[in-house]
Chain A
Amino acid sequence: MSENGDKSSIHPLWLRLIHWANAAAVIVLILSGWRIYNATRFMHLRVPFTGEALFPNKWTIGGWLGGAIQWHFAAIWVLFASAVFYILLFLLTRRGKQFLPVTPSGLLADIKAFLRGRLSHADIRQYNTIQKLAYLFAMIDLVVLIASGLVLWKSVQFGWLRVLLGGYEAARYIHFYAMCGIVAFIVIHVVMAVLVPKTIKAMLWGR
């Protein structure tokens, strides 16, 4: 750690704490959510090649439906708290500038660079357009997950949200597809982080 501490760090301490709390909460939510899904399996999906019904219980946590729900509703409070702190500190520290603006020309230039294998991560403080879009997608997807989850949990108390999402059963599908979205994000995010290890260091130690 430098003498300057967090002042010169890429990610301030509050952001790193929120990131890892959020990561843990989202992973618990996904793995327990799969177990909850297994109680009815409304999508009739199968594991490629093995043909097992998705999601094999060994991939899940909670042990049974009731246990999985307990994990799910425990992790929700962690996600909720981290979302509230993130939004507050995001606004206070004006972090928005990292993720915006996203321009079509910038995207086109980045796609070309990506196809030539020259998309730069030299300065990890600077996000390229594809990164900006990926992080914006993750944020919006989390909002969709929380909104559809609220409808599944409290469809009467959040009646306006139920109507907005197209009804109770629609919320179930939205919740499922948004889960697929966040899983895809995590897979890409982790692969990219491993390819550029200094990003992991920055998220752990700040620089």
Chain B
Amino acid sequence: MTPDIKNDEEAILKEANHLLKDPAKRRLLGNVLTLGGLSLATGIALNHYGSVNEILKALSRFNDGAQRVIFNPNALAPTYTEADIKHPFPFNAFYSVDKAPVVDGEKFRLELSGKIADRRPWDLQHLHALPYTEQITRHICVEGWSAIGRWGGVVFSEFLKRVGADTTCKYVGFKCADGYFTSIDMPTALHSQTLLAFTFDGQLLPAKYGFPMKLRMPTKLGYKNPKHIVEIFVTNVYPGGYWEDLGYNWFGGS
């Protein structure tokens, strides 16, 4: 046995022992073989032995692809009545409600960037003058709860058309006043129920629900619905997201 092979052997055993220390991982090590096979079937090469996280991330990407295939642009999320609206509507963010960002509506300008023809910033007055639609839909949270609310604003595809966004691109990304960021696939951006929302329950969006605007998509989980949007960009380069980069599924569709 050459010294190189010996070193490799030691490294593999060390890594395996490390994995075996964690009882949860030990229980599942048998499964890794199966997962590895699946991952190879999806064309992703594994560079590290026992890199369970890499396999799981690869499968999450595979899951994005499956959702892209399943997504039907004509399938509509159910709509509800006033009586179904949840009061008070739950607040949820990566900080507590009193830390919700305060945005000065007077000075606010929505920035546009990337593959958009007309990238002039928008003030709130002009945004609020856009054709207004309302819908009562179910907000589904990845944490295992859902709540029905009423959001109003402009159909996002209409907005994208007005600014001359290149809708052949793959992604639309969002940057938010609280440091949050996320991105969505173009077919969902163009879905008829995707709203750039300025109101909640008939009132201007309060700070806790995302003033000055949020992207409301009843076809995606809550963490895909960005609040406090300050910049929208269109791109072909995968932009990721706050929770997505930590491990939540990127497509996150319903």
Which A residues form the contact surface with B (CB < 8 A)? Answer: 21, 24-25, 27-28, 31, 36-37, 39-40, 42, 60-67, 69-71, 73-75, 77-78, 153-157, 159, 162, 168-169, 172
Assuming the contacts A66-B243, A70-B57, A156-B218, asked whether A24 and B31 have C-beta atoms less than 8 A apart, the reply is yes
Number of contacts between A and B (CB, 8 Å)? Answer: 97
Select one of B34, B72, B143, B219 contacting A65, CB under 8 A.
B143
The chain A residue sitting closest to B223, CB to CB, is A66
Max chain B Cβ within 10 angstroms of own Cβ: one of A27, A66, A75: A66
For chain B, the bracket of interface size reads: 35 or more
Stretch binding the partner chain, chosen from B113-121, B122-130, B175-183, B244-252: B244-252
Contacts of B195-242 to chain A: CB distance below 8 A: 218-219
Other A-B pairs beyond A67-B247, A73-B249, 19, CB < 8 Å = A24-B34, A39-B142, A40-B141, A40-B144, A61-B27, A61-B28, A66-B248, A70-B60, A70-B249, A71-B56, A74-B38, A74-B55, A74-B56, A77-B59, A154-B67, A156-B75, A156-B219, A157-B71, A157-B75
Query: Which 3 pairs across A and B sit closest by C-beta, in order of nearness?
Result: A66-B247, A40-B144, A39-B143
B172, chain A: closest CB distance, angstroms: 19
Q: What is the CA–CA distance of A70 and B253 in the complex, to the nearest angstrom?
A: 15
Select one of B24, B31, B218, B248 contacting A69, CB under 8 A.
B248
Interface assignment of B88: CB less than 8 Å from any CB of chain A: no
A146, chain B: closest CB distance, angstroms: 15
Max chain B Cβ within 10 angstroms of own Cβ: one of A36, A65, A70: A70
Q: What is the CA–CA distance of A77 and B56 in the complex, to the nearest angstrom?
A: 12
